[in-house]
Structure 1
């Protein structure tokens, strides 16, 4: 055991000496440069899977995709924290005061299922087929993710 400790200390001293020599002789470190870490993808206790990237299919749901792009450009977040239990109250809050239009759905961004949704959400009138299809598609894609998971929407 004593021999292992002495070997470990010797290795540390050797590495420290090499690093000192490089710094004293104007050389860059002999160690490879570290790549930056995308911290939003690191799981935490409140978001155990990290941020999920979801590419939204613009070709399939063009009206919803356009609305998401416009709402993000206007300052709304591209990231949603899943909160299914809050969806009904968020929908009520976001649509309150916005009249219905015959043949149109009121699409909200952030979506009602997002903790960021609710009062202050961006509302746009779009076709029911596009709106409901997009909602079903997103719901299906996120079925396996728990509430609290962060989802970054990428609309191309």
Structure 2
């Protein structure tokens, strides 16, 4: 049953915070609260720990190609989304990305929150990603 008193995220930023920093190798820190979208954020955390980049560069114009490259050898699965890290919107995404089957609502909610919080940043912006548990 729908709970009308449940939390509604009016800004669409659930689980994400973004801080401008003065660092040599990145412009912002994106903190992801693992408990909000646990499957997606666990995938990001584990992919980073396995050697995938934790500093990524926004490059939206290649997102479609990156998604095609990262998912080309991973068949679709009924009832699951194919989550990728690095995400297709990042220069580091595409061929060689970590891909994992996860719950569609978790994946789409996380993707929406991350996309929204980064939406005003220009291509070329470098983001350090940290998952908080």
Q: Which is helix-richer, 1 or 2?
A: 1
**Following the alignment from structure 1 to structure 2, what is the Cα–Cα distance between the partners of residues 125 and 94?**
13
Deviations along 1:88-120, one digit per CA (max 9) or x if unpaired, are 000000000111111000000000000000000
Higher relative contact order (CA 8 A, sep 6+): 2
TM-score with structure 2 setting the length = 0.80
**Following the alignment from structure 1 to structure 2, what is the Cα–Cα distance between the partners of residues 76 and 138?**
18
1:96 equivalent in structure 2? 72
2:62 equivalent in structure 1? 86
Q: Which structure is larger by alpha-carbon Rg, 1 or 2? A: 1
DSSP 3-state at the match of 1:115: coil
Alignment of 1:23-38 (within 5 A): 38=23
**Following the alignment from structure 2 to structure 1, what is the Cα–Cα distance between the partners of residues 98 and 24?**
28
What number of residue pairs does the alignment pair up? 111
**Following the alignment from structure 1 to structure 2, what is the Cα–Cα distance between the partners of residues 38 and 54?**
14
**Superposed CA RMSD:** 1.2
Q: CA deviation at 1:57?
A: 2.1
Deviations along 1:8-61, one digit per CA (max 9) or x if unpaired, are xxxxxxxxxxxxxxxxxxxxxxxxxxxxx8423xxxxxxxxx521011121111
Structure 1: unaligned runs, 5 residues or longer: 1-36, 41-49
Q: CA deviation at 1:79?
A: 1.1
Paired residue for 2:84, among 108, 128, 134? 108
2:49 equivalent in structure 1? 73
Q: Which is strand-richer, 1 or 2?
A: 2
TM-score with structure 1 setting the length = 0.69
DSSP 3-state at the match of 1:134: helix
| 4+ residue segments displaced more than 3 Å | none
